[in-house]
């Protein structure tokens, strides 16, 4: 399990989204309010952000709890961006992958995070993994379920699928192969946010002005936060949020 958040809007310091809100992501690392599975997100964290004039995001990831990293405090205070994605991690099972298993994962212009768990991992996804090109499997940076789900999304993108379609089809494929999985995915390419609500909480906030935040749970008590229904694909820009139902795979 984990908590994650993505932001699109006017330039802000990372800390304005992650640290300063009363229930921001840093606080959610030890005191989440809506987390259904697990209680403390201390198995790694990361943030990715976009700089002006560069479509490829920078990242900062670590394997320990965010509250123990003093470098992150400085980073969050001075780095500003119009788009970011960040996550804190509660590992489903122990591993020695370290920060390589911490979201956000990245490829080109896209950042990725997974809140949830694949049921029956790893055996349940062997057929999907076997269908990937060997190069995609060799490129895995961690041995966790999130890394393989990300590889499945990347493969669809490399085949030419649009980002929302690649995400939706990956969720449906994994849900069919591993019923009972929790597959809340969150991605951004710096201009839009794509996310799924599948087995855990997801919400979004728009405004004031051209500004959208998508998160596992609200970082404050602003009444404009809206819950995303389960089994839903969310596609958002700074100005608009589109919700599309996802059909449950047939047994």
Sheet holding 54-62, edge to edge: 54-62, 45-51, 80-89, 2-13, 212-215, 203-206, 226-227
**144 included as an active-site residue:** no
**Catalytic: which of 1, 2, 6, 236?**
2
* Contact criterion met (CB below 8 Å) for 9 and 209: yes
Whether residue 170 contacts residue 158, with contact meaning beta carbons closer than 8 Å, is answered with no
Label residue 148 exposed, middle or buried (CB < 10 Å: 0-12, 13-18, 19+): buried
The residues near 62 (Cβ < 8 Å, ≥ 6 apart) are: 44, 45, 46, 69, 72, 99, 102
Active site residues: 2
């Amino acid at each position: 399990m984990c908590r994650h958040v993505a932001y699109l809007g006017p330039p802000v310091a990372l800390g304005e989204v992650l640290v300063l809100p009363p229930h921001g992501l840093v606080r959610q690392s030890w005191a989440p309010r809506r987390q259904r599975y697990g209680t403390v997100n201390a198995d790694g964290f990361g943030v990715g952000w976009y700089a002006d004039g560069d479509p490829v995001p920078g990242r900062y990831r670590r394997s320990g709890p965010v509250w123990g990293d003093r470098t992150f405090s400085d980073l969050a205070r001075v780095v500003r961006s119009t788009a970011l994605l960040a996550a804190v991690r509660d590992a489903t099972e122990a591993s020695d992958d370290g920060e390589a298993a911490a979201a956000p994962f990245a490829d080109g212009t896209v950042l990725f995070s997974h809140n949830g768990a694949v049921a029956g991992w790893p055996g349940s996804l062997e057929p999907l993994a076997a269908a990937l090109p060997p190069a995609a499997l060799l490129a895995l940076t961690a041995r966790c379920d999130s890394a393989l789900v990300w590889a499945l999304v990347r493969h669809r993108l490399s085949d030419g699928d649009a980002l929302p379609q690649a995400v939706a089809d990956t969720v449906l494929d994994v849900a069919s192969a591993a019923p009972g999985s929790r597959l809340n995915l969150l991605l951004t390419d710096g201009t839009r946010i794509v996310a799924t609500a599948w087995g855990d909480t997801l919400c979004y906030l728009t405004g004031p002005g051209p500004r959208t935040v998508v998160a596992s749970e609200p970082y404050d008590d602003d009444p404009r936060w809206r819950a995303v229904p389960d089994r839903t694909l969310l596609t958002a820009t700074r100005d608009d949020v589109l919700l599309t139902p996802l059909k449950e795979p047939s047994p």
